[in-house]
Amino acid sequence: MALVDLLRDKVVLVVGGTSGLGAAIARAAAREGAAVVVTGRRPDRGDQLVSELEETGASAAYVQGDVGDAAEATRMVEAAVERFGRVDCLVNCAGITTRGTLLDTTQELFDEHIATNLRGPFFTMQAAVRDMVGRGAAGTIVNIITMTSHGGQPYLAPYAASKGGLVTLTKNAAHAHRFDRIRINGLNIGWTETEGEDAIQRRFHGAGDDWVEKANAGLPMGKLGQPDEIADAVVFLLSDRSGVVTGSVIDWDQTVPGTYD
């Protein structure tokens, strides 16, 4: 049940919304009264989430596609408009964090990061803003970015490059469309507990079943970031409750860039 109806009667498109943080955002948006469209590459996950949302009384739809393909990124938005007549809110949540340093990153790995983490959001934003401008309607966009956009670890070189570009794109687009009443903001999220992060930790860092417990013990707040908490912040930025804020990239983390012990 919606708490305060922050997104009542809005159509929210969550790109990369079938699992992890994206699914948490989709659930939060539906809870707050929105019709929700989620995209992703796996129909089984998409259909399962749509069924879950519909059981709560929400209107929901799944669009299969890979945001790393520019044409598919545009088509996802067009499919949402076809299904619900418009897109009021867009969340770019799809992303990859495959490891690579400056020295060992291949051209293929670099291009994959740029395609998914930067080019895809560019073209979903383009299509969504075209819909909003074409209707003469206000809208909101939230890009899920990362604290790594401040620089990051050596083994995240292509990831840092792609997400750093998304920071600049967020601000550029926000400036360009502020008089269209389209607000565009971003969240630099920190280390977050998701099934995707679990897979990354096991694949690249040899993590065992107790990795979350060990990670929690070393963090200031005693826990990793939680998807439902981030989802609440995203809903706030999508909603009128966040006022006139646009072009902001907020550090959503428990570390403070530029400080030292």
Catalytic residues: 159
Bridge partners of 225?
192
Name the region of 164 (left: φ>0; alpha: ψ -120 to 50; beta: rest): alpha
Contact 170, 143 (CB under 8 A): yes
- Nearest-angstrom CA–CA distance, 77 and 81: 6
For the chain, give the number of residues: 261
Q: 207 — phi, psi (to 5°)? A: -70, 145
Please list the helix, strand and coil fractions of the chain in percent, rounded to the nearest 5, in that order. Answer: 50, 15, 35
Tokens, residue 124 = 């979903």
Smallest Cα–Cα separation from 130: which of 74, 65, 84, 71? 74
- Nearest-angstrom CA–CA distance, 191 and 227: 10
Q: Is the dihedral of CA 244, 248, 253, 255 positive or negative?
A: negative
Tokens, residue 112 = 């994959």
